[in-house]
Structure 1
Amino acid sequence: MSLTLTADPAELTAALIDVPSVSGDERPLADEIHQQLVQLPGYQVVRSGNSILARTTGHRPQRVVLAGHIDTVPIAGNVPSQLDGDRLAGCGATDMKSGVAMLLHLAATVENPSKELTFIFYDCEEVEHDRNGLTRIERELPEWLRGDLALLGEPTNALVEAGCQGTMAFTVTTKGARAHAARSWMGHNAIHDAQAVLAAITSFDTREVDIDGCRYREGLNAVDIRGGVASNVIPDECVVKINYRFAPDLSPDEAVARVRTHFADFEVTIIDVAAGALPGLSQPAAAEFVEAVTSGADPAAGPVVQAKLGWTDVARFAALGIPAVNYGPGDPMLAHTPQEWVDVNQIRQMTQALRNYLS
């Protein structure tokens, strides 16, 4: 297997799909990307685990960081890639091997860029935060994340998706008393008390917040419920796991405070929380990018910039004070599904739009 970075980015996408890279098993693909990047003139290249980083080292006034994860969710019978007309299907087609192909192609073909460029191709994005390649890079090579703007090639269906929601996982626990089911009045059923927890979830004020013209919609949802000891025992505990997607105008501490206040009558345990990212579109570098890639868009087709409803690694850059947006081929609604596919024309068009901006 040998990747040709200067090839048609749609063909490069197919080649990337054909190299399985499920989270934790990215080494073969990382080895090939590393081998190709070290051959490019004008780049400093380093490797961190199965993440490969490459940057120009000139003196242009701005630096743009372009990042994409090379891992995928587990394969669902959708490797190798399949091309049907303009549809290229396969594991990671949208999330995000088409975005990685776009960035690799640009790294190899943009001549005399108008900005300094940093490319980051990282591992383990689809799994827990501690294994994410950017977590390691932020700890060991923090200077590589610095820039005036960060672009992540996450699928956006040719739109610019700005910022992202914050995310929190927590549990609410109800306590009861065990008893024989034949004498239930001698105990207290913790599962029955979970009705009040579910009612509190539905009464929570899930806000819609407009920031820089991007509308972020919050969500609070029960995602798991566990309780019970045996079919003849009244349960003495029930645990409801809840996911909260909060607008980026709230800090993690503020989001936790909202949850604790709303569920003040219950036992609440915070499992994890990650900050969202403000869109930052009013910052000059972000505004310049949006103007460059959306100029000429048909207003009748709808907005070309929207809020990212979900959490992505743009939040890491926002925490560093760097405006960051998502911009990549593919419909995000198809991500992680066995039917994942991407329009090859969209790959080519978005690659050209980004080339124009960088040049």
Structure 2
Amino acid sequence: MPALDLTQSSAALTRAVCDIPSVSGDETPLADAIEAAVSAYAHLEIIRDGDTIVARTNLGRDRRVVIAGHIDTVPINGNLPVEDRSVDGVDVIWGRGTVDMKAGVAVQLKLAAELTEPPVDITWMWYDHEEVDSALNGLGRLSRNRPDLFEGDFAILGEPSNGEVEGGCNGTLRAIVRTEGVRAHSARSWIGENAIHKAAPILARLAEYRAREIEVEGLVYREGLNAVSISGGVAGNVIPDACAVEVNYRFAPSRDAAAATRVVTDVFTGFDVEIVDVAEGARPGLDAALAKEFVDAVGATPKPKYGWTDVARFSALGIPAVNYGPGDPHLAHHDEERVPLAQIDAVERGLRAWLSGS
């Protein structure tokens, strides 16, 4: 596996990091390369937990910042190795991982190597298994194994944000709404009760639902309630006796899990509703001193993060956190995934200006 040269430009480092495939579950080669690269710098203490690499300064500063990024990607689909392209007159790096989120990781690696005397202590975290089941998430595992590493006053997650600051994140809930019927031969359908037909009111309520916009600490979060899958049926000549509609609710960070559950159960009053997964969001936390300094340094106007991200893990620990990274989140997981060179440079300049105190 080629070594990572942290003296390269962030763009060149993005290409190198992306060209080491690291689909979730296969992050070891990239984790090895990152560990080897940052271990060459004496100002960093290196800790490894599985395929999560932590590098931190211990300068005795009175404040500490945690900066994190995941190193795994969704599966490759003919989009590696990366390519330099021009799209609508914009110079980009095209390929898997460029947006989600190896360009952000590349910026972090470069700054971790170069910032030897920052005005705050910094804990850098590059973690595995973000794109799969939450139980496997490397950041979650690290928080259980080494909670001391999460001590900090402010956190930044390098998720793609178009180079803008996105505060907090929405929460997410998944529920299964079920109907029951009675099986019968489809030639004599009147003898049975069609569970799929009984799901019609569920879909009607979803179609009638209007997304709410809720202001939290000055940012307006847009909620959403949608069917994401439906299952039912026995055979081509059998009236189905069961149907299940899976629903996803994205809720503003002003609600906790209990409040989000009440919203969903109220919408589907009269139906069997099972909550199968819920992750609370994160409030913006932009009133924290370090957050204000960061926003001022990068010259940003904060926006809300509609999707759920790992900033919620920091928020749950009482650490205000924001998303800040290059790349259009609409292109995350897309086969045309690509990141503008200008955004990589802008994010590096913003973080460098803040972390160097200049």
TM-score bucket (shorter structure): over 0.9
Q: What SS does the aligned partner of 1:338 have?
A: coil
Per the alignment, residue 329 of structure 1 pairs with 326
Tell me if 1:164 matches 2:197.
no
Per the alignment, residue 244 of structure 1 pairs with 249
Per the alignment, residue 70 of structure 1 pairs with 71
Mapped to 2, the partners of 1:263 and 1:161 lie a distance apart of 32
The one-letter code sitting in structure 1 at the alignment partner of 2:159 is: E
Q: Deviations over 1:192-227 (max 9, x none)?
A: 110011112233453101122211101111011111
Following TM superposition, by how much is the alpha carbon of 1:74 offset from its aligned partner in structure 2, in angstroms? 0.3
Q: CA RMSD in A?
A: 1.1
**Please, which moves more after superposition, 255-264 or 50-59?**
255-264
Per the alignment, residue 121 of structure 1 pairs with 126
Q: What SS does the aligned partner of 2:184 have?
A: coil
Mapped to 1, the partners of 2:347 and 2:230 lie a distance apart of 43
Mapped to 1, the partners of 2:210 and 2:278 lie a distance apart of 19
Contact 2:24 2:128 in 1 (8 A): yes
The one-letter code sitting in structure 1 at the alignment partner of 2:303 is: Q
Contact 2:99 2:337 in 1 (8 A): yes
Q: How many residues align?
A: 351
Structure 1 unaligned segments of length 5 or more: list them.
296-303
TM score, norm. by length of structure 1: 0.96
What pairs up with 1:166-185 in 2 under 5 angstroms? 166-185=171-190
Per the alignment, residue 292 of structure 1 pairs with 297
Q: What SS does the aligned partner of 2:238 have?
A: coil
What pairs up with 1:159-308 in 2 under 5 angstroms? 159-204=164-209, 206-294=211-299, 304-308=301-305
Mapped to 2, the partners of 1:240 and 1:76 lie a distance apart of 30
The one-letter code sitting in structure 1 at the alignment partner of 2:236 is: S
Per the alignment, residue 99 of structure 1 pairs with 104
Please list every run of at least 4 consecutive aligned residues from structure 1 whose deviation after the TM superposition is greater than 2 angstroms. 202-206
Structure 2 unaligned segments of length 5 or more: list them.
none
Q: What SS does the aligned partner of 1:15 have?
A: helix
Following TM superposition, by how much is the alpha carbon of 1:287 offset from its aligned partner in structure 2, in angstroms? 1.4
Tell me if 1:346 matches 2:343.
yes
Per the alignment, residue 298 of structure 1 pairs with none
The one-letter code sitting in structure 2 at the alignment partner of 1:30 is: A
The one-letter code sitting in structure 1 at the alignment partner of 2:179 is: T
Following TM superposition, by how much is the alpha carbon of 1:268 offset from its aligned partner in structure 2, in angstroms? 0.5
Following TM superposition, by how much is the alpha carbon of 1:228 offset from its aligned partner in structure 2, in angstroms? 1.1
Per the alignment, residue 28 of structure 2 pairs with 27
Tell me if 1:81 matches 2:82.
yes
Mapped to 2, the partners of 1:280 and 1:227 lie a distance apart of 43
Mapped to 2, the partners of 1:76 and 1:215 lie a distance apart of 35
Mapped to 2, the partners of 1:249 and 1:146 lie a distance apart of 24
Tell me if 1:139 matches 2:144.
yes
Mapped to 1, the partners of 2:316 and 2:194 lie a distance apart of 44
Of 99, 108, 112, 2:113 maps to 108
Mapped to 1, the partners of 2:80 and 2:70 lie a distance apart of 18
Mapped to 2, the partners of 1:166 and 1:11 lie a distance apart of 35
Per the alignment, residue 301 of structure 1 pairs with none
Mapped to 2, the partners of 1:334 and 1:50 lie a distance apart of 26
Mapped to 2, the partners of 1:56 and 1:93 lie a distance apart of 27
Tell me if 1:358 matches 2:355.
yes
Mapped to 2, the partners of 1:223 and 1:261 lie a distance apart of 19
Per the alignment, residue 48 of structure 1 pairs with 49
Q: What SS does the aligned partner of 1:270 have?
A: strand
The alignment-based identity, stated in percent, is: 52
**Please, which moves more after superposition, 344-353 or 25-34?**
344-353
Q: Deviations over 1:230-285 (max 9, x none)?
A: 12111111110111101110001110111112212000111100000011111222
The one-letter code sitting in structure 2 at the alignment partner of 1:249 is: S
Q: Deviations over 1:313-335 (max 9, x none)?
A: 00000001110000001111111
The one-letter code sitting in structure 2 at the alignment partner of 1:219 is: G
Q: What SS does the aligned partner of 1:225 have?
A: strand
TM score, norm. by length of structure 2: 0.96
Mapped to 2, the partners of 1:274 and 1:241 lie a distance apart of 16
**Please, which moves more after superposition, 204-213 or 120-129?**
204-213
Mapped to 1, the partners of 2:104 and 2:263 lie a distance apart of 36
Following TM superposition, by how much is the alpha carbon of 1:36 offset from its aligned partner in structure 2, in angstroms? 1.1
Per the alignment, residue 299 of structure 1 pairs with none
Following TM superposition, by how much is the alpha carbon of 1:123 offset from its aligned partner in structure 2, in angstroms? 0.4
Following TM superposition, by how much is the alpha carbon of 1:56 offset from its aligned partner in structure 2, in angstroms? 0.9
Mapped to 2, the partners of 1:43 and 1:183 lie a distance apart of 74
Per the alignment, residue 36 of structure 1 pairs with 37
Mapped to 1, the partners of 2:201 and 2:243 lie a distance apart of 12
Per the alignment, residue 4 of structure 1 pairs with 5
Contact 2:181 2:192 in 1 (8 A): yes
